[in-house]
Structure 1
């Protein structure tokens, strides 16, 4: 039986307030590291509590928990979050021991903006970002005057604009990088852009002509990226692999090391390939 706690955005205001006060703690603060332990000194008799997005991250973790963890001597618990902020603040404060939901460009931007100290441990998979529509059947149907919704966070907005540029929907300036924004569009070809929180994009499909949606939110909404998208990111050379992450200093926690090994196992590779049919791609190894 799975022990999975769901944490929704409805409780965000209360938790952000409490976590925000503890996120600035340092190793010299008495309560800053007591909850999570520190690296090799962590209490390995306790379950490892990992924050994760529901799909596919929590699904993958629950596969590990149900099929691999006991044999490896790992007690694992999964706590589901439905946004991209609370998993990091909870990891920073010690509310959870680790998280699994994000890619490197997002984490780098988050740490810089929030003064957090979270580091990647091991890559697990890639969720190709896709362009979806309920009104248009192919890219040729996107015309001047139509609207496209995109994620409003820094890294995923740049990622979305690159996907559109790579597929000829817009033209970006030569100087545009992975953190491109609307001001970096050289030619919008008459398209109107709506910047929305990533989690709301599937629901926005009824109100716009198309939307660029993160893979996990697409899957949660019943979309099949490999089949339903008008355009999909390529996996080769993609910097957006999702990884297991911890607060700096906890990388050597024996429980974290066991989970990292299991997440890069042949069993997890097969689970991802069999379950998601190309909509989620295994990408194992060290985070660059």
Structure 2
């Protein structure tokens, strides 16, 4: 009887030991984390996403940041599945891309607002702009329209009624200073500043070029604009829990504080 009890006790100890060993082995196995490839343009968007990445890691989400140097490729890459998310564009720009290219891409959250500014190396006051001056604006329809609205708000041109966000150069009905509009790739405009008289520059490219919008712009867009930037994903992925974690990280207090402290008012929170 005693031998039987000892044998049973030995078996119990063995089972418990094996069970604990199994639990230990299981707990030591690292948790497989989801990795999102997030496309951004170089500069402020990349800087903000680097902070988002650190916040997201605390929630079990890994982010691989993929940088682009123009506004075209991030949507091409997203549509083709080369990246999972992009964060670089405002809603009017995405709407125009979807209309033109039939991409199945959707916005899932707002991010930041980059007020467009007007810059010059030749004048300090926009009222000093001479007749016949060359003025550069982005050559994509939405940012070009945005620039034209900014020029109009500073009394350089007048657009036909109803032109709105889709305004084009052909919508100019009054041009008292006979300015010459030069349409250039948005990323190229800062590098062309010395060769022109005036330029409307997107803030992300202005900052990358070493300009401080709140100090260097001679005119700047109102912060309450319809051009809040967004996080975009393929339509089929919009309910993916990993995307929701990304949004949560982007909208965190840590990211909000970074935007406020790092950009000193040149970039505003859009959510």
Normalising by structure 1, report the TM-score.
Answer: 0.81
Q: Is 2:213 aligned against 1:222?
A: no
Q: Is 2:30 aligned against 1:50?
A: no
Distance 1:70 1:109 in 2: 33
Distance 2:53 2:162 in 1: 45
Q: 1:270 aligns with which of 257, 260, 265?
A: 257
Q: Of Structure 1 and Structure 2, which has the larger fraction of its residues in helix?
A: 2
Is the CA contact 1:98–1:244 (under 8 Å) kept in the aligned structure 2?
yes
What per-residue deviation string (whole Å, max 9, x for no partner) do you get for residues 187-212 of structure 1?
A: 12211110111110001101100100
Distance 1:197 1:130 in 2: 16
Is the CA contact 1:58–1:78 (under 8 Å) kept in the aligned structure 2?
yes
Alignment of 1:49-198 (within 5 A): 49-66=37-54, 68-189=55-176, 190-198=178-186
Q: Is 2:201 aligned against 1:233?
A: no
Is the CA contact 1:128–1:234 (under 8 Å) kept in the aligned structure 2?
yes
Residue 46 of structure 1: how far off its partner (Å): 3.6
Is the CA contact 1:55–1:216 (under 8 Å) kept in the aligned structure 2?
yes
What per-residue deviation string (whole Å, max 9, x for no partner) do you get for residues 45-85 of structure 1?
A: 4411100011211111101223x122111111100001111
- Which residue number in structure 1 is paired with residue 13 of structure 2? none
Residue 254 of structure 1: how far off its partner (Å): 1.4
Q: Is 2:262 aligned against 1:260?
A: no
Is the CA contact 2:34–2:242 (under 8 Å) kept in the aligned structure 1?
no
Is the CA contact 2:40–2:66 (under 8 Å) kept in the aligned structure 1?
yes
Is the CA contact 1:142–1:169 (under 8 Å) kept in the aligned structure 2?
no
List alignment gaps of at least 5 residues for structure 2. 1-31
Q: Is 2:191 aligned against 1:203?
A: yes
List alignment gaps of at least 5 residues for structure 1. 1-43
Distance 1:267 1:45 in 2: 22
> 3-state DSSP class of the match of 1:274?
helix
Distance 1:115 1:69 in 2: 31
Q: Over the residues paired in the alignment, what is the CA RMSD in angstroms? A: 1.1
- Which residue number in structure 2 is paired with residue 19 of structure 1? none
What per-residue deviation string (whole Å, max 9, x for no partner) do you get for residues 141-166 of structure 1?
A: 11211110000100011100000101
- Which residue number in structure 1 is paired with residue 266 of structure 2? 279
Residue 235 of structure 1: how far off its partner (Å): 1.3
Residue 239 of structure 1: how far off its partner (Å): 1.0
Task: State how many pairs are aligned.
Answer: 239
In our comparison, the structure showing a higher alpha carbon Rg is: 2
Distance 1:143 1:165 in 2: 16
Distance 1:107 1:196 in 2: 19
Residue 174 of structure 1: how far off its partner (Å): 1.5
